[in-house]
Chain A
Amino acid sequence: ILNVEQSPQSLHVQEGDSTNFTCSFPSSNFYALHWYRWETAKSPEALFVMTLNGDEKKKGRISATLNTKEGYSYLYIKGSQPEDSATYLCAFATSGSRLTFGEGTQLTVNP
């Protein structure tokens, strides 16, 4: 059984604050690490797919880093906005498309 853990479970920040969350995953048999953003009543939206140790990816104010040797990934949001409020999921893949998800970090950005 693969164990993917995300922390914190939930987070409340003020508009303009920068924030980050963690995804921990097994360091063996690594294939890819996915980050998704999931707003209520919508489909999870793919943010990043990361495959190489040391990878850093950026999309606007959101960025992510990957450490496959120690089994963690960080997601950073710079200057949080209310529209960033969502649940952020990470998912670990050992091969192909089969994903194991963490429980998610629920972010609330207060105006």
Chain B
Amino acid sequence: GAVVSQHPSWVICKSGTSVKIECRSLDFQATTMFWYRQFPKQSLMLMATSNEGSKATYEQGVEKDKFLINHASLTLSTLTVTSAHPEDSSFYICSATRTSGFYNEQFFGPGTRLTVL
């Protein structure tokens, strides 16, 4: 159990277009989902925390109008990169939490490679 899927696994788009990435928890209900970004040779960096039915909480330096997060159900969160530019090219990965004991385990999707031309 505890499988998280992400779609698409990779996407190439032109500068100025918007790209939507889906994150789904397949066999459990996720109280919270997280979105991370990883640039080459760097660590996973938290972008935002998403709770079902409420506005996402963004980390400092992450533009909320550029990275739109929608968490419409307990199994689906979406990240939309609006008006993408080459500097947005990165690896985006989501995680979903499931409470286990006193801490919330995070289960990760396989990630999405975004390339903006």
User: Is B73 close to A, CB under 8 A?
Assistant: no
Identity of the chain A residue whose Cβ is nearest the Cβ of B96 in the assembled complex: A97
- How many residues on A have C-beta within 8 angstroms of the other chain's C-beta atoms? 24
Contact of B105 among A41, A49, A100, A102 (CB under 8 A): A49
- B residues within 8 Å of A by Cβ? 4, 32, 34, 36, 41-46, 49, 93, 97, 103-111
Residues of A within 8 A of B (CB): 4, 31-32, 34, 36, 41-44, 46, 49, 51, 89, 91, 93, 96-104
Chain B interface helix/strand/loop/mixed:
strand
Other A-B contacts than A4-B43, A101-B44, 13 sampled, CB-CB below 8 A, are: A32-B103, A34-B106, A41-B110, A44-B93, A44-B108, A46-B105, A49-B105, A89-B44, A97-B34, A97-B106, A98-B46, A98-B49, A103-B42
* Distance in angstroms between the alpha carbons of A103 and B42 in the assembled complex: 6
Q: Which residues of A contact B32 (CB under 8 A)?
A: 97
The answer to whether B44 touches A43 (Cβ under 8 A) is no
Which among A31, A43, A97 is the interface contact of B108 at CB below 8 angstroms?
A: A43
